[in-house]
Amino acid sequence: MTTSKNLLKNRSNLGHKVRYAVGNPGRIAPYLKRTARDSWLRLKHPDHVDYYRAVMASDTARNPEAAVGSKTHDRWLALGKMQFDYLKEHGLAPRHRMLDIGCGNLRAGWRFIEYLDAGHYYGIDISPDILISAKKTLTGYGLQEKLPHLTITQNLTLDFLPEAHFDVVHAHSVFSHSPIEVIDECLANVGRVLAPGGFFDFTFDRTEGTEHQVLREDFYYRTETLTALAGKHGLKARFMDDWEKRPHGQSKIRVSHAD
C-alpha cells in the first residue's frame, strides 16, 4: 500500500541507495547481481521492449510467478484475485470483451477467462516465455473450452485488433515497467479499440516527487503526467481512489472516451 512517505522517495538517488543498503544488508548482493545482469541486457538490447523481453526470459526461466511480481504462490493467487474482484465490483460482466495488456502467466487472467463468456478474453504480452507459462496455467485450470486468445506483441500500437471492440482494457504492472514513450504509444491507440462506454484501467508506480526509474525496470510517474498524456490523445482520465485501499503498492488510473 502506498504511503505519503514512500511517494516522496527517489529510488534512483545515491543517498537513498546507501540508506537502503545500510538498512537491508542482505539485499546488497542480489541487487548487485541484478544490476550486472540488467546492464548486460541493456547493452545487447538498446530498444526497451527488446530489453524487457530479455529480462522476462531470464526471470521466467527461474520462476514464472516471481517473473510477474509474486514471490510466493499464495501471493500470486491473492494479487490475481485482487484484480478480478476490483473489476467485477466495477461492473465487469460475463458478456464483456476484455483486452488484458501484459497478461503474463494469467495471474489474474485465468479468473477473467473463467468468468467471461467463451472467446471474450484477449491477452497480449511481449514475452513468448511468459506466454508459454500462461498456456500451462490455462490447461492447469481446465479452461480450454473458454477459447481465450493469447498473443505475443512487439509494441502497443494495437493495430492488429478491431476497432471499438473491447468493453474493458486492463494493464496491471505494465506501465510501472515502461518508459513514457511506451505509455504514450498505448494511450495514442487504446481509444480506437475501446467500445463505446468502455474503459481502460492501468496501474503505475506513483511518485509525488521527482519522476525517476531504477535499472530501466521500474518507472515512477506523477499522476498528473499520465492524466495529461491521456488528455493529449482525447481521452479523459481519473485517479481511482478506491484502489488505494487495496494492499497493493501501485496506484490506478481509469481512461475512457472523452465524450
Mean pLDDT on 18-39: 74
What does the pLDDT look like over 237-253, one tens digit per residue? 999 999 999 999 999 99
Mean pLDDT on 65-90: 94
What does the pLDDT look like over 192-210, one tens digit per residue? 999 999 999 999 999 999 9
DSSP letter string over 42-76?
HHH--SHHHHHHHHHHHHHHH-HHHHTT-SSHHHH
Matching residue, cell 491521456: 230
6-257 CATH, one of 3.40.50.10470, 3.40.50.150, 3.60.20.10, 1.20.1050.10: 3.40.50.150
Q: Tell me, what's the pLDDT at 69?
A: 85
Whether pLDDT at 222 is above 90: yes
**Poorest-confidence range of 46-50, 183-187, 221-225, 238-242?**
46-50
pLDDT band at 13, cuts 50/70/90?
A: low
- Report DSSP state, residue 176: G
pLDDT band at 110, cuts 50/70/90?
A: very high
pLDDT band at 30, cuts 50/70/90?
A: confident
pLDDT band at 17, cuts 50/70/90?
A: low
Contact 116, 167 (CB under 8 A): no
Contact 212, 12 (CB under 8 A): yes
**CA angle at residue 125 from 133 to 252, to 5 degrees?**
110
Whether pLDDT at 66 is above 90: no
